[in-house]
Chain A
Amino acid sequence: MIQGLEKRYKNGVKAISGVDLEIASGEFFAILGPNGAGKSTLINIVAQVVSKSAGTVEVFGVSIDRHPQEAKMLLGFTPQEVALDPFFTVLEVLQNHSGYYGLAHNQEWIATIMQRLGLEACALRTGRQLSGGMKRRLSIAKALVHRPKLLILDEPTAGVDVALRHALWAFIRELHALGTTILLTTHYLEEAQQLAGRVAILRDGAVVACDRTEQLLRRFGTRRFEVVVTEDSVGLPFEGCQRSSDGKRIVGEFCWEQSASLFAWLSQEGERLEDVRITEASLEEVFLRLTE
């Protein structure tokens, strides 16, 4: 739970201004926003790698002010910038990270994570010997090593190939199904649309929308429609639609409130209809509408 969160950097930049968010246990929650909207600052504060200027943050009811270590124990954090220790191999990095959480005998889970993220082949390679994609996998594996109840992923698929993206999301979906709460920031809006149950959109450090993904699409999304009719069809479903010069094609956009008018008109046209195509609303379009 995040209440009244504010963050002002030393240079005076206000990155977060009065953010309130309540994320339920077991949710898959995505935070979207343009560059500089405050997404990373927000989740970095939850992970306690950035300090807050005001407000409260609780992780499963544990305050990050009163019990910072307990709160850290509950979450796994993958920062946006991939950084790895060049001294240690992949296996050593995961064993070290396990140790920080008091897990001395965690070989089985480490092996599972490595297998699921395709890191087995490079278990004995050091950070220097890994490709960019492998580094990203290891960064995510580190966050999972102590089976956190909350997994924070800051743009985990940035610069990642399609195969890894699929494998990663399959694994994250599985963890989510087992009860892990996921907090994600991403620039790939289709990912958020497919995966997240709820979405918050940030602009200039403030939440401009926060709702279930389908509610956001319903409230803010517009759908496109294209209707092919016979020559004797006249009229338009509502203002703003356009009819082609031969009169047989009508195109337009409609929001949720206009859908009743559209369907009433379609029903009225009856046998004069030859084809109807409706394109669903996209989160990308909602995002652009709310952030521009």
Chain B
Amino acid sequence: MKNWSGTWALFRRECRRFLKVWVQTLGAPLVSALLYFAIFGGALGQRIGIIDGISFLVFLVPGLTAMGMLQHSYQNSSSSLIQMKYLGLIPADLLALPLTALQVTLAFMGASMVRGVAVGGLTLLVSRLFVPFGIAHPVLLVVSACLIAAIFGLLGVLMGILARTYDDISVVGHFLLTPLVYLGGVFFSITMLPEGWRLLVLANPVFYLVDLFRYALLGVSQGWPLWSLWISVLFLCVFFILTVQVLHRGWRIKN
């Protein structure tokens, strides 16, 4: 039995959920991006100068955009599921629905992608007001944005299922995601780092996502764009299969 229209309904519910509180879900990341531009770009950028042949402010645009996308796609699915757990909605509004684990995964991942890509698009639009830049590879830009949002949307679903409390979600956010993002080449070029740190950054999967997105937007890369693309696709496949399996088994949500 397919019931794809049921999947669409769940996807739509998850999209409507974040759109109902758009000031918080779409407005807040814009304010954050503006603050980053003001501090890093305005105050510190001139001292940093040119990176890979482009100004620091331009270098910062894809990094900040990617950061907003991955944080918000993660938050969308993780907060929705943990909230459902707290409110007791899991039985009637998730487990009893006539949808397969694959369909539930697609619906939650899809909604996270919509929020992540919306945050990314808005950040790019606002950035364009401050900094002049073009789009080097438009198709790859869309593909890489979707990959980032999908991977972190899936990570959010996994965390939402596995977490018992809001604290669990924020612990992963603060102690795993934030270090990965901050050491993922959002604010700096790896050419600026000493050798030891450079290896650490190269071992960070977020670096490849950010680098792919930067290459798609500006045409400059600090790694190997094709390599980054395959690593991202591999991550997407692994997280997708893992999420479907966890949902199918009902781990932590079905007694």
Report which A residues bind B (CB closer than 8 A). Answer: 9-10, 44, 47-51, 67, 69-70, 72-73, 77-79, 81, 83-88, 92, 96, 98-102, 104, 139, 142
Contacts and interface: CB of A to CB of B under 8 A. Distances in A.
Q: What is the interface of chain A mostly: helix, strand, loop, or mixed?
A: loop
Nearest to A72: B98
8 contacts: A49-B90, A50-B254, A50-B255, A69-B3, A84-B87, A85-B93, A96-B9, A100-B98
B254 A49 contact: yes
B67 interface: no
Contacts of B43: none
Contact of A99 (B6, B93, B100, B255): B6
B17 interface: yes
A47 B87 CA distance: 19
Q: What is the interface of chain B mostly: helix, strand, loop, or mixed?
A: helix
A44 B91 contact: yes
A86 B87 contact: yes
Contacts of B89: 83-85
Contacts of A101: 3, 6, 98
Interface of B: 1, 3, 5-6, 8-10, 12-13, 16-17, 20-21, 87-93, 95-100, 250, 254-255
Given A77-B96, A79-B91, 8 more contacts: A70-B1, A84-B87, A88-B13, A88-B20, A92-B16, A99-B6, A100-B98, A104-B5
A153 to B, nearest CB: 12
A139 B89 CA distance: 11
Nearest to A73: B98
Contacts of B90: 49
Contacts of A83: 87-89, 91-93
Contact of A51 (B20, B91, B250): B250
A54 to B, nearest CB: 15
Given A51-B250, A51-B255, A67-B1, A100 B88 contact: no
Contacts of B3: 69, 73, 101-102
Nearest to A83: B88
The 9 closest A-B pairs by CB, nearest first: A99-B9, A83-B88, A72-B98, A49-B91, A49-B95, A102-B5, A100-B6, A73-B98, A69-B98
